[in-house]
Copies of this chain bind each other. A is one copy, B any other.
Amino acid sequence: MPELAPVLDQIDRSVDESLERLFGLLAIPSISTDPVYAAECRRAAEWLVADLQSIGFTANVRETGGHPMVVAHHEGEGPHVLFYGHYDVQPVDPLALWENDPFAPAVKEIEPGRKVITGRGTSDDKGQLMTFVEACRAYKKVHGKLPCRVTILFEGEEESGSPSLKPFLEANANELKADLALVCDTTMWDRETPAICVGLRGLVGEEVTVKAADRDLHSGFYGGLAANPIRILSRVLADLHDENGRVTIPGFYNGVEDTPPEVLASWKTLERESESLLEAVGLSEPAGEKGRLGLELVWARPTAEFNGITGGYTGEGFKTVIPAEASAKVSFRLVHRQDPQAIRDSFREFVRQRIPADCSVEFTPHGGSPAIQLPYDSPLVATAQCALTEEWQKPAVAIAMGGSIPIVGDFQHLLGMPSLLVGFGLLDDRIHSPNEKYELISFHKGQRSWARILAALASERVEKPD
Protein backbone atom coordinates (compact mmCIF):
# COMPACT_ATOMS: atom_id res chain seq x y z
CA MET A 1 0.00 0.00 0.00
CA PRO A 2 1.59 3.30 -1.07
CA GLU A 3 1.66 5.76 1.80
CA LEU A 4 -0.89 8.56 1.61
CA ALA A 5 0.72 11.46 3.50
CA PRO A 6 3.54 12.21 1.00
CA VAL A 7 0.97 12.12 -1.82
CA LEU A 8 -1.06 14.81 -0.09
CA ASP A 9 2.11 16.85 0.41
CA GLN A 10 2.98 16.48 -3.25
CA ILE A 11 -0.50 17.77 -4.17
CA ASP A 12 -0.04 20.79 -1.91
CA ARG A 13 3.37 21.57 -3.40
CA SER A 14 2.16 21.41 -6.98
CA VAL A 15 -1.05 23.48 -6.79
CA ASP A 16 0.32 26.13 -9.14
CA GLU A 17 1.53 23.61 -11.69
CA SER A 18 -1.77 21.71 -11.59
CA LEU A 19 -3.56 25.01 -12.14
CA GLU A 20 -1.36 25.77 -15.13
CA ARG A 21 -2.22 22.39 -16.64
CA LEU A 22 -5.93 22.96 -16.03
CA PHE A 23 -5.66 26.35 -17.77
CA GLY A 24 -4.24 24.57 -20.80
CA LEU A 25 -7.30 22.35 -21.03
CA LEU A 26 -9.74 25.19 -20.24
CA ALA A 27 -8.32 27.30 -23.06
CA ILE A 28 -9.60 24.82 -25.65
CA PRO A 29 -13.18 25.81 -26.67
CA SER A 30 -14.52 22.26 -26.86
CA ILE A 31 -18.18 23.16 -27.35
CA SER A 32 -19.73 19.88 -28.42
CA THR A 33 -23.11 21.07 -29.61
CA ASP A 34 -21.73 23.46 -32.26
CA PRO A 35 -20.12 21.71 -35.29
CA VAL A 36 -17.84 24.73 -35.74
CA TYR A 37 -15.92 23.55 -32.69
CA ALA A 38 -15.52 19.89 -33.74
CA ALA A 39 -11.75 20.27 -34.21
CA GLU A 40 -11.47 21.90 -30.78
CA CYS A 41 -13.26 18.93 -29.21
CA ARG A 42 -10.73 16.62 -30.82
CA ARG A 43 -7.92 18.89 -29.62
CA ALA A 44 -9.21 18.61 -26.03
CA ALA A 45 -9.31 14.81 -26.34
CA GLU A 46 -5.75 14.77 -27.70
CA TRP A 47 -4.61 17.11 -24.92
CA LEU A 48 -6.00 14.68 -22.34
CA VAL A 49 -4.44 11.65 -24.03
CA ALA A 50 -1.04 13.35 -24.02
CA ASP A 51 -1.40 14.39 -20.38
CA LEU A 52 -2.46 10.89 -19.28
CA GLN A 53 0.39 9.33 -21.25
CA SER A 54 2.80 11.71 -19.50
CA ILE A 55 1.92 10.11 -16.17
CA GLY A 56 2.11 6.56 -17.41
CA PHE A 57 -1.40 5.73 -18.65
CA THR A 58 -1.90 3.80 -21.84
CA ALA A 59 -4.23 6.34 -23.40
CA ASN A 60 -5.94 6.67 -26.76
CA VAL A 61 -8.36 8.84 -28.67
CA ARG A 62 -11.20 6.52 -29.68
CA GLU A 63 -13.46 7.32 -32.62
CA THR A 64 -17.26 7.38 -32.37
CA GLY A 65 -19.97 8.61 -34.73
CA GLY A 66 -19.55 12.00 -33.06
CA HIS A 67 -16.79 13.52 -30.94
CA PRO A 68 -14.13 11.04 -29.82
CA MET A 69 -13.79 9.33 -26.46
CA VAL A 70 -10.62 9.21 -24.39
CA VAL A 71 -9.90 5.81 -22.87
CA ALA A 72 -6.88 5.24 -20.63
CA HIS A 73 -5.66 2.35 -18.50
CA HIS A 74 -3.23 2.04 -15.62
CA GLU A 75 -2.35 -1.06 -13.67
CA GLY A 76 -2.70 -1.19 -9.91
CA GLU A 77 -3.01 -3.73 -7.11
CA GLY A 78 -6.24 -2.65 -5.49
CA PRO A 79 -9.74 -2.84 -6.91
CA HIS A 80 -10.43 -1.79 -10.49
CA VAL A 81 -12.16 1.58 -10.79
CA LEU A 82 -13.56 3.31 -13.89
CA PHE A 83 -13.34 7.07 -13.62
CA TYR A 84 -15.79 9.03 -15.79
CA GLY A 85 -15.78 12.71 -16.78
CA HIS A 86 -16.48 14.79 -19.87
CA TYR A 87 -14.21 17.22 -21.69
CA ASP A 88 -16.88 19.01 -23.70
CA VAL A 89 -18.45 22.24 -22.49
CA GLN A 90 -21.61 24.29 -22.96
CA PRO A 91 -21.82 27.17 -25.47
CA VAL A 92 -20.91 30.57 -24.05
CA ASP A 93 -23.56 32.91 -25.41
CA PRO A 94 -24.56 35.47 -24.38
CA LEU A 95 -20.88 36.36 -24.56
CA ALA A 96 -21.53 39.99 -23.54
CA LEU A 97 -22.46 38.86 -20.03
CA TRP A 98 -19.04 37.33 -19.31
CA GLU A 99 -16.75 39.44 -17.14
CA ASN A 100 -13.73 37.58 -18.55
CA ASP A 101 -13.10 35.76 -21.81
CA PRO A 102 -14.65 32.31 -21.13
CA PHE A 103 -11.65 30.59 -22.72
CA ALA A 104 -8.98 32.71 -21.02
CA PRO A 105 -9.20 31.14 -17.54
CA ALA A 106 -8.05 33.14 -14.52
CA VAL A 107 -7.98 33.00 -10.74
CA LYS A 108 -9.95 35.76 -9.01
CA GLU A 109 -10.25 36.55 -5.32
CA ILE A 110 -13.99 37.23 -4.96
CA GLU A 111 -13.88 37.85 -1.23
CA PRO A 112 -11.00 37.91 1.25
CA GLY A 113 -9.49 34.45 1.30
CA ARG A 114 -11.89 33.03 -1.32
CA LYS A 115 -10.41 32.43 -4.74
CA VAL A 116 -12.23 31.00 -7.76
CA ILE A 117 -11.15 29.80 -11.16
CA THR A 118 -13.23 31.52 -13.86
CA GLY A 119 -14.03 30.26 -17.35
CA ARG A 120 -16.26 27.92 -19.28
CA GLY A 121 -15.85 24.32 -18.13
CA THR A 122 -14.11 25.13 -14.85
CA SER A 123 -16.85 23.41 -12.83
CA ASP A 124 -18.57 21.43 -15.58
CA ASP A 125 -16.55 19.33 -15.98
CA LYS A 126 -12.86 20.02 -16.81
CA GLY A 127 -11.91 21.30 -13.35
CA GLN A 128 -13.63 18.35 -11.73
CA LEU A 129 -12.10 15.64 -13.92
CA MET A 130 -8.63 17.12 -13.47
CA THR A 131 -8.91 16.70 -9.67
CA PHE A 132 -8.76 12.96 -10.30
CA VAL A 133 -5.97 13.15 -12.90
CA GLU A 134 -3.87 15.29 -10.53
CA ALA A 135 -4.38 12.82 -7.68
CA CYS A 136 -3.08 10.05 -9.94
CA ARG A 137 -0.13 12.24 -11.00
CA ALA A 138 0.85 12.85 -7.37
CA TYR A 139 0.73 9.09 -6.61
CA LYS A 140 2.94 8.39 -9.60
CA LYS A 141 5.38 11.14 -8.70
CA VAL A 142 5.76 9.98 -5.08
CA HIS A 143 5.38 6.20 -5.40
CA GLY A 144 5.69 5.43 -9.11
CA LYS A 145 2.40 3.53 -8.95
CA LEU A 146 -1.33 3.84 -8.26
CA PRO A 147 -3.15 2.26 -5.30
CA CYS A 148 -5.93 0.90 -7.55
CA ARG A 149 -6.19 -0.37 -11.08
CA VAL A 150 -7.61 2.65 -12.93
CA THR A 151 -9.48 2.93 -16.21
CA ILE A 152 -10.46 6.39 -17.37
CA LEU A 153 -13.31 7.29 -19.73
CA PHE A 154 -13.77 10.88 -20.87
CA GLU A 155 -16.54 11.64 -23.29
CA GLY A 156 -16.98 14.67 -25.51
CA GLU A 157 -20.75 14.72 -26.00
CA GLU A 158 -22.19 15.03 -22.50
CA GLU A 159 -23.51 18.52 -23.18
CA SER A 160 -25.22 17.39 -26.36
CA GLY A 161 -27.12 14.33 -25.14
CA SER A 162 -24.33 11.68 -25.20
CA PRO A 163 -25.53 10.01 -28.43
CA SER A 164 -22.39 7.86 -28.77
CA LEU A 165 -22.01 6.82 -25.15
CA LYS A 166 -24.38 3.89 -24.91
CA PRO A 167 -23.20 2.19 -28.13
CA PHE A 168 -19.59 2.78 -27.03
CA LEU A 169 -20.19 1.18 -23.64
CA GLU A 170 -21.87 -1.78 -25.31
CA ALA A 171 -19.11 -2.22 -27.86
CA ASN A 172 -16.35 -1.95 -25.26
CA ALA A 173 -18.00 -3.53 -22.25
CA ASN A 174 -15.17 -5.95 -21.48
CA GLU A 175 -12.56 -3.24 -21.61
CA LEU A 176 -14.50 -0.75 -19.49
CA LYS A 177 -16.13 -2.96 -16.92
CA ALA A 178 -14.60 -2.39 -13.48
CA ASP A 179 -15.56 -3.11 -9.89
CA LEU A 180 -16.84 0.38 -9.44
CA ALA A 181 -17.40 3.60 -11.37
CA LEU A 182 -16.26 6.93 -9.97
CA VAL A 183 -18.15 9.90 -11.37
CA CYS A 184 -17.02 13.46 -10.70
CA ASP A 185 -19.83 15.63 -12.04
CA THR A 186 -21.85 16.52 -8.91
CA THR A 187 -21.69 19.08 -6.11
CA MET A 188 -20.78 19.44 -2.47
CA TRP A 189 -23.57 20.31 -0.06
CA ASP A 190 -21.97 23.71 0.52
CA ARG A 191 -18.47 25.24 0.41
CA GLU A 192 -17.44 23.40 3.57
CA THR A 193 -19.47 20.22 3.50
CA PRO A 194 -18.46 17.36 1.22
CA ALA A 195 -21.19 15.14 -0.17
CA ILE A 196 -21.69 11.76 -1.76
CA CYS A 197 -24.64 11.41 -4.06
CA VAL A 198 -26.22 8.05 -3.28
CA GLY A 199 -29.55 8.44 -5.08
CA LEU A 200 -30.71 9.73 -8.41
CA ARG A 201 -34.42 9.92 -9.09
CA GLY A 202 -35.78 8.20 -12.15
CA LEU A 203 -38.31 9.72 -14.51
CA VAL A 204 -41.49 8.80 -16.35
CA GLY A 205 -42.83 11.43 -18.76
CA GLU A 206 -46.31 11.30 -20.22
CA GLU A 207 -48.32 13.63 -22.41
CA VAL A 208 -52.08 13.30 -21.96
CA THR A 209 -54.56 14.68 -24.47
CA VAL A 210 -58.26 14.65 -23.62
CA LYS A 211 -60.59 14.95 -26.61
CA ALA A 212 -64.27 15.82 -26.40
CA ALA A 213 -66.29 17.33 -29.27
CA ASP A 214 -64.90 16.97 -32.78
CA ARG A 215 -64.55 20.76 -33.09
CA ASP A 216 -64.33 23.87 -30.94
CA LEU A 217 -67.80 24.86 -29.69
CA HIS A 218 -69.41 28.18 -28.75
CA SER A 219 -69.80 28.18 -24.97
CA GLY A 220 -73.08 30.05 -25.30
CA PHE A 221 -74.74 27.39 -27.40
CA TYR A 222 -73.07 24.37 -25.84
CA GLY A 223 -72.05 25.50 -22.35
CA GLY A 224 -73.57 23.14 -19.80
CA LEU A 225 -74.42 20.55 -22.43
CA ALA A 226 -71.17 19.52 -24.08
CA ALA A 227 -68.20 17.96 -22.30
CA ASN A 228 -65.36 20.40 -21.64
CA PRO A 229 -61.94 18.73 -21.97
CA ILE A 230 -60.25 21.34 -19.75
CA ARG A 231 -62.68 20.45 -17.00
CA ILE A 232 -62.06 16.72 -17.46
CA LEU A 233 -58.30 17.21 -17.52
CA SER A 234 -58.34 19.47 -14.44
CA ARG A 235 -60.28 16.81 -12.57
CA VAL A 236 -57.78 14.14 -13.56
CA LEU A 237 -54.81 16.26 -12.50
CA ALA A 238 -56.47 17.31 -9.25
CA ASP A 239 -57.27 13.68 -8.44
CA LEU A 240 -53.61 12.69 -8.72
CA HIS A 241 -52.82 14.00 -5.22
CA ASP A 242 -54.76 13.48 -2.03
CA GLU A 243 -55.17 16.11 0.68
CA ASN A 244 -51.85 15.05 2.21
CA GLY A 245 -49.98 15.54 -1.02
CA ARG A 246 -49.60 11.82 -1.69
CA VAL A 247 -49.95 10.53 -5.22
CA THR A 248 -53.18 8.53 -5.49
CA ILE A 249 -52.36 6.21 -8.39
CA PRO A 250 -52.87 2.64 -7.13
CA GLY A 251 -49.54 0.94 -6.51
CA PHE A 252 -47.58 4.16 -7.04
CA TYR A 253 -45.54 3.71 -3.85
CA ASN A 254 -44.59 0.10 -4.58
CA GLY A 255 -40.80 -0.11 -4.32
CA VAL A 256 -40.41 3.12 -2.34
CA GLU A 257 -38.32 2.54 0.75
CA ASP A 258 -38.39 4.33 4.06
CA THR A 259 -35.40 6.56 4.61
CA PRO A 260 -33.36 5.25 7.58
CA PRO A 261 -33.80 7.38 10.73
CA GLU A 262 -30.08 8.18 10.95
CA VAL A 263 -30.08 9.48 7.37
CA LEU A 264 -33.17 11.56 8.09
CA ALA A 265 -31.42 12.89 11.18
CA SER A 266 -28.39 13.99 9.17
CA TRP A 267 -30.68 15.66 6.59
CA LYS A 268 -32.51 17.42 9.40
CA THR A 269 -29.30 19.25 10.27
CA LEU A 270 -29.24 20.51 6.69
CA GLU A 271 -32.92 21.39 6.61
CA ARG A 272 -32.46 25.12 7.11
CA GLU A 273 -30.64 25.06 3.79
CA SER A 274 -33.58 23.53 1.96
CA GLU A 275 -35.70 26.34 3.30
CA SER A 276 -33.26 28.78 1.79
CA LEU A 277 -33.56 26.80 -1.44
CA LEU A 278 -37.25 27.76 -1.41
CA GLU A 279 -36.54 31.31 -0.31
CA ALA A 280 -34.14 31.72 -3.22
CA VAL A 281 -37.07 31.35 -5.63
CA GLY A 282 -39.61 33.33 -3.64
CA LEU A 283 -41.36 30.45 -1.87
CA SER A 284 -41.53 29.27 1.74
CA GLU A 285 -43.75 26.17 2.06
CA PRO A 286 -42.67 22.65 1.04
CA ALA A 287 -45.45 21.63 -1.34
CA GLY A 288 -45.11 17.84 -1.41
CA GLU A 289 -46.23 15.12 0.97
CA LYS A 290 -47.15 16.60 4.30
CA GLY A 291 -45.06 15.91 7.40
CA ARG A 292 -41.82 15.20 5.58
CA LEU A 293 -38.52 17.05 5.49
CA GLY A 294 -38.03 19.29 2.47
CA LEU A 295 -34.81 17.45 1.61
CA GLU A 296 -36.53 14.10 1.90
CA LEU A 297 -39.13 15.31 -0.59
CA VAL A 298 -36.55 16.00 -3.30
CA TRP A 299 -34.08 13.24 -2.45
CA ALA A 300 -36.08 10.23 -1.36
CA ARG A 301 -39.74 10.65 -2.32
CA PRO A 302 -41.39 10.19 -5.69
CA THR A 303 -43.51 12.95 -7.22
CA ALA A 304 -46.13 13.67 -9.83
CA GLU A 305 -45.45 17.02 -11.44
CA PHE A 306 -47.29 18.94 -14.15
CA ASN A 307 -44.79 20.44 -16.56
CA GLY A 308 -47.17 21.97 -19.05
CA ILE A 309 -50.84 22.36 -19.82
CA THR A 310 -52.70 23.84 -22.75
CA GLY A 311 -56.21 23.95 -24.12
CA GLY A 312 -58.69 26.36 -25.69
CA TYR A 313 -58.02 30.02 -26.23
CA THR A 314 -54.81 31.24 -24.61
CA GLY A 315 -54.23 34.54 -26.42
CA GLU A 316 -55.00 38.08 -25.31
CA GLY A 317 -58.54 38.85 -24.25
CA PHE A 318 -61.31 36.30 -24.19
CA LYS A 319 -63.02 33.84 -26.47
CA THR A 320 -66.09 31.95 -25.33
CA VAL A 321 -65.01 28.63 -26.73
CA ILE A 322 -65.36 25.11 -25.44
CA PRO A 323 -62.26 23.55 -26.94
CA ALA A 324 -62.18 20.20 -28.70
CA GLU A 325 -59.19 19.07 -26.66
CA ALA A 326 -56.81 19.89 -23.85
CA SER A 327 -53.50 18.35 -22.98
CA ALA A 328 -50.96 18.22 -20.19
CA LYS A 329 -47.38 17.08 -19.82
CA VAL A 330 -47.03 15.07 -16.63
CA SER A 331 -43.84 13.65 -15.19
CA PHE A 332 -43.14 11.33 -12.32
CA ARG A 333 -39.83 11.39 -10.44
CA LEU A 334 -39.15 7.88 -9.21
CA VAL A 335 -37.07 6.65 -6.28
CA HIS A 336 -35.57 3.35 -5.15
CA ARG A 337 -37.18 0.36 -6.84
CA GLN A 338 -40.24 1.97 -8.45
CA ASP A 339 -40.93 0.41 -11.85
CA PRO A 340 -41.28 3.01 -14.64
CA GLN A 341 -43.41 0.79 -16.86
CA ALA A 342 -45.77 -0.21 -14.06
CA ILE A 343 -46.23 3.44 -13.13
CA ARG A 344 -46.87 4.46 -16.73
CA ASP A 345 -49.48 1.71 -17.05
CA SER A 346 -51.20 2.54 -13.75
CA PHE A 347 -51.26 6.23 -14.59
CA ARG A 348 -52.92 5.56 -17.94
CA GLU A 349 -55.51 3.35 -16.31
CA PHE A 350 -56.11 6.02 -13.65
CA VAL A 351 -56.74 8.62 -16.36
CA ARG A 352 -58.92 6.37 -18.52
CA GLN A 353 -61.23 5.71 -15.57
CA ARG A 354 -61.93 9.45 -15.41
CA ILE A 355 -62.76 10.01 -19.08
CA PRO A 356 -66.51 10.20 -19.89
CA ALA A 357 -67.82 7.55 -22.26
CA ASP A 358 -68.24 9.96 -25.17
CA CYS A 359 -64.75 11.48 -24.83
CA SER A 360 -61.36 9.96 -25.46
CA VAL A 361 -57.79 10.23 -24.28
CA GLU A 362 -54.45 9.79 -25.99
CA PHE A 363 -51.05 9.28 -24.40
CA THR A 364 -47.58 10.03 -25.70
CA PRO A 365 -44.68 8.59 -23.71
CA HIS A 366 -41.73 10.91 -23.06
CA GLY A 367 -38.89 8.92 -21.55
CA GLY A 368 -38.74 6.49 -18.71
CA SER A 369 -35.86 5.46 -16.48
CA PRO A 370 -35.70 3.86 -13.06
CA ALA A 371 -34.10 5.53 -10.07
CA ILE A 372 -30.54 4.70 -9.01
CA GLN A 373 -29.88 4.12 -5.34
CA LEU A 374 -26.77 3.08 -3.47
CA PRO A 375 -27.89 1.57 -0.16
CA TYR A 376 -27.26 4.13 2.58
CA ASP A 377 -25.42 1.41 4.54
CA SER A 378 -23.25 0.31 1.60
CA PRO A 379 -19.56 -0.17 2.64
CA LEU A 380 -18.64 1.81 -0.46
CA VAL A 381 -20.51 4.85 0.84
CA ALA A 382 -18.96 4.42 4.29
CA THR A 383 -15.47 4.24 2.80
CA ALA A 384 -15.89 7.40 0.75
CA GLN A 385 -17.61 9.16 3.62
CA CYS A 386 -14.64 8.50 5.92
CA ALA A 387 -12.13 9.71 3.35
CA LEU A 388 -14.05 12.90 2.63
CA THR A 389 -14.74 13.62 6.29
CA GLU A 390 -11.05 13.34 7.07
CA GLU A 391 -10.12 15.70 4.25
CA TRP A 392 -12.73 18.39 4.90
CA GLN A 393 -12.89 18.00 8.68
CA LYS A 394 -16.65 18.06 8.47
CA PRO A 395 -18.93 15.01 8.15
CA ALA A 396 -19.61 14.13 4.53
CA VAL A 397 -23.35 13.88 3.92
CA ALA A 398 -25.05 11.25 1.85
CA ILE A 399 -27.25 13.31 -0.43
CA ALA A 400 -29.41 12.42 -3.39
CA MET A 401 -30.25 14.30 -6.53
CA GLY A 402 -33.71 15.12 -7.71
CA GLY A 403 -32.66 14.89 -11.34
CA SER A 404 -31.22 12.08 -13.43
CA ILE A 405 -27.66 11.37 -14.68
CA PRO A 406 -28.19 8.82 -17.47
CA ILE A 407 -24.57 7.57 -17.46
CA VAL A 408 -25.05 6.15 -13.98
CA GLY A 409 -27.99 4.07 -15.17
CA ASP A 410 -25.95 2.89 -18.15
CA PHE A 411 -23.04 1.82 -15.92
CA GLN A 412 -25.52 -0.06 -13.76
CA HIS A 413 -27.49 -1.72 -16.53
CA LEU A 414 -24.91 -2.18 -19.31
CA LEU A 415 -21.76 -2.82 -17.28
CA GLY A 416 -23.30 -4.12 -14.05
CA MET A 417 -21.29 -1.86 -11.77
CA PRO A 418 -22.33 0.63 -9.11
CA SER A 419 -21.27 4.27 -9.26
CA LEU A 420 -19.83 6.45 -6.55
CA LEU A 421 -20.74 10.06 -7.25
CA VAL A 422 -18.42 12.51 -5.58
CA GLY A 423 -17.99 16.04 -6.87
CA PHE A 424 -16.69 19.37 -5.62
CA GLY A 425 -18.86 21.81 -7.57
CA LEU A 426 -21.16 24.22 -5.80
CA LEU A 427 -24.76 25.07 -6.62
CA ASP A 428 -23.73 28.65 -7.40
CA ASP A 429 -21.03 27.68 -9.91
CA ARG A 430 -23.20 29.03 -12.78
CA ILE A 431 -22.64 25.97 -14.93
CA HIS A 432 -24.33 26.44 -18.35
CA SER A 433 -24.41 30.21 -17.69
CA PRO A 434 -22.05 33.14 -18.17
CA ASN A 435 -19.24 33.54 -15.62
CA GLU A 436 -18.94 29.88 -14.72
CA LYS A 437 -16.47 29.38 -11.86
CA TYR A 438 -14.94 26.64 -9.74
CA GLU A 439 -13.70 27.29 -6.22
CA LEU A 440 -9.92 27.06 -5.98
CA ILE A 441 -10.39 25.14 -2.75
CA SER A 442 -12.57 22.62 -4.64
CA PHE A 443 -9.79 22.09 -7.15
CA HIS A 444 -7.14 21.71 -4.46
CA LYS A 445 -9.00 19.69 -1.82
CA GLY A 446 -10.76 17.75 -4.61
CA GLN A 447 -7.35 16.34 -5.62
CA ARG A 448 -6.58 15.48 -2.00
CA SER A 449 -10.04 13.90 -1.63
CA TRP A 450 -9.47 11.57 -4.58
CA ALA A 451 -6.06 10.64 -3.22
CA ARG A 452 -7.73 9.68 0.05
CA ILE A 453 -10.60 7.83 -1.64
CA LEU A 454 -8.22 5.78 -3.81
CA ALA A 455 -6.22 4.90 -0.70
CA ALA A 456 -9.35 3.93 1.20
CA LEU A 457 -10.69 1.82 -1.66
CA ALA A 458 -7.37 0.04 -1.89
CA SER A 459 -7.37 -0.82 1.79
CA GLU A 460 -11.02 -1.92 2.02
CA ARG A 461 -12.70 -4.78 0.28
CA VAL A 462 -15.00 -3.24 -2.34
CA GLU A 463 -18.36 -4.93 -2.56
CA LYS A 464 -18.69 -6.53 -5.93
CA PRO A 465 -21.98 -6.34 -7.77
CA ASP A 466 -23.98 -9.57 -8.12
Contacts and interface: CB of A to CB of B under 8 A. Distances in A.
Given A238-B239, A288-B224, A321 B298 contact: no
Contact of A309 (B301, B309, B357, B404): B309
B331 A320 contact: yes
Nearest to A214: B282
Interface stretch (A124-132, A261-269, A310-318): A310-318
A329 interface: yes
Given A287-B225, A307-B312, A319-B307, A219 B331 contact: yes
A220 interface: yes
A91 interface: no
A328 interface: yes
Contact of A333 (B220, B301, B366): B220
A45 interface: no
A318 B298 contact: no
Given A213-B282, A284-B358, A309-B309, A223 B333 contact: yes
Contacts of A231: 237-238, 241, 287, 305-306
A310 B307 contact: no
Interface in A217-232: 217-228, 230-231
A355 to B, nearest CB: 11
A234 interface: yes
B305 A219 contact: yes
- For chain A, the bracket of interface size reads 35 or more
Contact of A214 (B215, B235, B281, B285): B281
Which of A233, A282, A313, A359 has most chain B Cβ within 10 Å? A282
A298 B239 contact: no
A458 interface: no
B402 A287 contact: no
B281 A222 contact: yes
A112 B294 CA distance: 75
A297 B228 CA distance: 14
Contact of A227 (B212, B228, B285, B323): B285
A203 B222 CA distance: 14
A188 to B, nearest CB: 15
Contact of A401 (B212, B220, B323, B367): B220
Given A307-B312, A309-B230, A313-B307, A402 B223 contact: yes
Contact of A403 (B220, B225, B303): B220
Given A221-B298, A308-B321, A333-B220, A283 B226 contact: yes
Given A225-B298, A313-B329, A318-B307, A220 B404 contact: yes
Nearest to A231: B306
A312 B327 CA distance: 12
Contacts of A227: 283, 285, 287
Nearest to A205: B318
A451 interface: no
B301 A318 contact: no
Contacts of A223: 201, 298, 303, 305, 331, 333, 402
A282 B310 CA distance: 22
A311 B331 CA distance: 15
A101 interface: no
Nearest to A275: B225
A309 to B, nearest CB: 5
Interface string A97-112: 0000000000000000
B298 A366 contact: no
B224 A301 contact: yes
A278 interface: yes
Contacts of A366: 317-318
A317 B205 CA distance: 10
Interface in A1-20: none
13 contacts: A212-B283, A213-B282, A218-B402, A220-B402, A221-B401, A224-B302, A227-B285, A234-B309, A238-B238, A287-B356, A307-B322, A310-B310, A313-B329
Smallest CB-CB A-B distances: 9 pairs = A220-B403, A238-B238, A308-B312, A214-B282, A234-B237, A230-B306, A318-B366, A224-B288, A224-B303
